[in-house]
Amino acid sequence: AEISRDKSGFFKLEEIIPGASWSEELRSPLTEAGVDAHKGDYIVSIDGVPTNTVKDMYALLVGKANVPTEIMLNSKPQLAGARKVVITPLAEEYSLYHYNWVQKNIEKVDKATNGKVGYVYIPDMGPEGLNQFSRYFYPQLDKEALIIDDRANGGGNVSPMILERLAREPYRLTMGRGTSKIGTVPNATLVGPKVCLINKYSASDGDLFPWGFRALGLGKLIGTRTWGGVIGISGSLPYMDGTDIRVPFFTSYDPKTGNWIIENHGVDPDILIDNDPLKEWSGEDQQLDKAIEVIMQDLKSRKPLPGAPAPRVAGKNY
């Protein structure tokens, strides 16, 4: 939650961050069943200690992460009339803020494109990144185009798996009795233009992803040059004093030219645009706005899949 100190000394809920109740990591304590907290309410007590007796309300929450904690809420900055509820505080709020940032981007793209374009953010190229891709890519297969956000991707090793899915093209279509739905072979194929957002924090396998995106001809890269570090490392056995030596062990090069790629330079965007820090802080994402502009232009030349042909006629050769 976003909290301010009232002149009374109690603490006011300026904003309650929405969460995802199905996820233990993404739950929002003040939105859980039975709490019934509202924007503008005051937290007047924590475990019996009035919050107007401390300078920092969070001092009363030290050591309370994932521990059931009693708080008192009131619509007025006073103890009289306050009600008691039990919440289980979080260890950190970054995950909630990040989750809501992704959700707002999905909503923004959906609204700006009248539901035609999907948005997928990939935070890294490890298990979490692959899970996030699966969670958001497959439900949006009915979209006509896709924005893939690789910004601040921390790397890993699953970019080939994700690129394989994005590069799929149908070589056969299927239809069935009683439905107008057209199936594709291979399955899970999104037919339409794609663009990829990158920035200076797209690193390691987050570098290799946009390089592969371009090599496969999937679409334009939009943003700023990526981090530029793709030499993989391998460590020795640990030493007695705890020392661990990391050794440069493997890297990648271009099969067409035989030249090294990416290292110490990064991947350049096709469309260079950076986010102004002040505008970004106020909620304006210039890079995402440009991606929407470009993908809508690309959509004008999209060729949709053909519908099912007319029923066969007896005696006619096909």
Checking if the pLDDT of 316 tops 80, the result is: no
- State mean pLDDT over 174-185: 91
pLDDT digits (tens, 9 = 90+) for 6-26: 999 999 999 999 999 889 889
Q: Exposed, middle or buried by CB within 10 Å (0-12, 13-18, 19+), for 210?
A: buried
Share of residues in the chain with pLDDT > 90 (%): 87
- State mean pLDDT over 241-270: 93
Q: What is the DSSP string of the chain?
A: -EEEE-TTS-EEEEE-----TT-TTT--GGGSTTT---TT-EEEEETTEEGGGSS-GGGGGTT-TTS-EEEEEESSSSSTT-EEEEE---S-SHHHHHHHHHHHHHHHHHHHTTT-EEEEE---BSHHHHHHHHHHHGGGTTSSEEEEE-TT---BS-HHHHHHHHT---SEEE--TT--PPEEESSS---S-EEEEE-TT--THHHHHHHHHHHTT-EEEEES-------EEEE-PPPTTS---EEEEE--B-TTT--B-STTT----SEE----HHHHHTT--HHHHHHHHHHHHHHTT--PPPPPPPPP-TT---
- State mean pLDDT over 73-90: 96
pLDDT at 34: 93
- State mean pLDDT over 268-272: 98
pLDDT at 233: 86
- Tell me which of 3.30.420.40, 3.90.226.10, 3.30.2320.50, 3.40.50.261 is the CATH number of domain 94-299: 3.90.226.10
Residues 224, 290: contact at Cβ < 8 Å?
no
Q: What angle do CA 255, 127, 231 make, to 5 degrees?
A: 35
pLDDT digits (tens, 9 = 90+) for 149-159: 999 999 999 99
What CATH number has the domain spanning 2-87?
2.30.42.10
Q: Tokens in use for 216?
A: 């496969």
pLDDT at 99: 96
Band (pLDDT 50/70/90 cuts) for residue 97 is: very high
Beta-sheet pairing, 232-235 with 246-250: antiparallel
Residues 147, 109: contact at Cβ < 8 Å?
yes
- State mean pLDDT over 277-281: 95
Band (pLDDT 50/70/90 cuts) for residue 318 is: low
Band (pLDDT 50/70/90 cuts) for residue 239 is: confident
| C-alpha–C-alpha distance, residues 19 and 83, integer Å | 23
Beta-sheet pairing, 219-223 with 271-272: parallel
Band (pLDDT 50/70/90 cuts) for residue 235 is: confident
Q: Where are the domains of the chain?
A: 2-87, 94-299
Residues contacting 94, CB < 8 A, separation 6+: none
- State mean pLDDT over 193-216: 98
Length of the chain: 318
Comparing CA positions, the residue from 73, 70, 74 lying closest to residue 86 is 70
